[in-house]
Structure 1
Amino acid sequence: MNKAVFLDRDGVINIDKGYVHLVDDFEYVEGVFEACLTLKEMGYMIVVVTNQSGIARGMYSEDDFHHLTEWMDWNFADKGVELDGIYYCPHHAEKGLGDYKQDCDCRKPKPGMLNSAAEFLEIDMSQSIMVGDKADDMRAAKAAGIPTAILVKTGKVVDEAGVKEATIVLDSIADVPTYIADL
């Protein structure tokens, strides 16, 4: 069984500018590549799990998302970081349009994306870590049986609900490897 660090995208990997779907609007959080490289060296898989309600809302297409994701994946590869999995939820129960309007099991705080990754990539959730920027990321980790949920300050405004659900609050993903090394 493998261990993994699950990463939310917007607010953890990149600056959350709201419904980011274009390469020109994608700005990496400082230190993300170095942190991920160190995590890989520590024996963790890197798995991205991201809610993408902008697809559900008709703001951009799944093709737009895939184009940006492929570009992001290549950026990581160019820095020596192989992303082991990228999972996304294109649904929204209230604001979705057409087939995207559904109460699915993949939208965080539900654990569907994490559980799918665990099954496909043979991940031991008890040895894994979630890094996110909001309470729903922390709740998804708990629901999936991930004991360590790290809330970072580079995304949404850190609120009391997020702090309450988190194992620890760190400034950014750049601080994650040092924290994990001390566990």
Structure 2
Amino acid sequence: MNNPDDGQLPPVAIFDRDDTLLVDRHYMCDPADIEWVSGAIEAISLLNKKGYKVCVATNQSGIARGYFTEKQMYAFHEAMRSQLAAEGAVIDGFFHCPHHPGGTVAEFTRTCDCRKPLPGLIGQIDRAFPMDRQRSFLVGDKPRDIQAAEAFGIPGHLFEGGSLLDRVLEILDTLQNVNSVGLP
């Protein structure tokens, strides 16, 4: 773990939610729909042990479309936290974009800077958990996730299925190799 007095910021691992951490069931808000992607809980636990803050950055247009409320989404995220806690893993923060220009709920029907591929959600994460950008990264299943990360100035990594733990191990190995270049 980093000592806050040493001037070094912690790294942050950011994950998209649907089809990255969870099997996507389209516009999920019922905790009964939570099904973790293979290796997701283990990946989060590993990152916790390595001193990473772990956050979720998720577009949730179902709120703007009237499919579910923010309150239902918050309850869904609390159910995710509870399941992780039972396994000794922690997501430090959930950050969502409830907006969509084609929505039906007036307060959320608009264009915004927090909807990926724009980097607004990552900026919110950085304000809540100031990050070491050299060691931080985002993992998502869509090009818009990667675009948001790159627009913010951190690496984005595509997850195309399989074990999320295996993908995170690859990313950590790459980061270690990149950050050790030029060191004695």
Are the counterparts in 1 of residues 12 and 131 from structure 2 also a CA contact under 8 Å? yes
> 144, 161, 173: which one pairs with 1:182?
173
Q: Which residue of 2 aligns with 1:2?
A: 10
Distance (whole Å) between structure 2 residues aligned to residue 73 and residue 9 of structure 1: 13
Q: How big is the shift at 1:45?
A: 1.1
- Partner residue, 1:77: 85
Q: 1:57, 1:97 within 8 Å by CA — same for their partners in 2?
A: yes
Matches within 5 A, 1:47-58: 47-58=55-66
Please give the TM-score of this superposition, normalised by the length of structure 1: 0.86
Q: What does 1:10-159 correspond to in 2, within 5 Å?
A: 10-146=18-154, 148-154=155-161
Shift of 1:98: 0.4
State the TM-score, normalized to the length of structure 2: 0.85
Specify the SS of the correspondent of 1:122: coil
Note the C-alpha offset of 1:173: 1.4
* Aligned sequence identity (%): 36
Please tell me the root mean square deviation across aligned C-alpha atoms, in Å. Answer: 1.3
State the distance in 2 between where 1:118 and 1:126 align: 13
For structure 2, the 5+ residue unaligned runs are: 1-8, 175-184
**Runs ≥4 residues deviating over 3 A:** none
Note the residue ranges of structure 1 that are not aligned, 5 or more in a row. Answer: 155-170
Q: 1-side partners of 2:55 and 2:80: how far apart?
A: 13
Larger radius of gyration: 2
Q: How many residues align?
A: 166
Q: Find the aligned partners of 1:96 and 1:149 in 2 and give their Cα distance.
A: 31
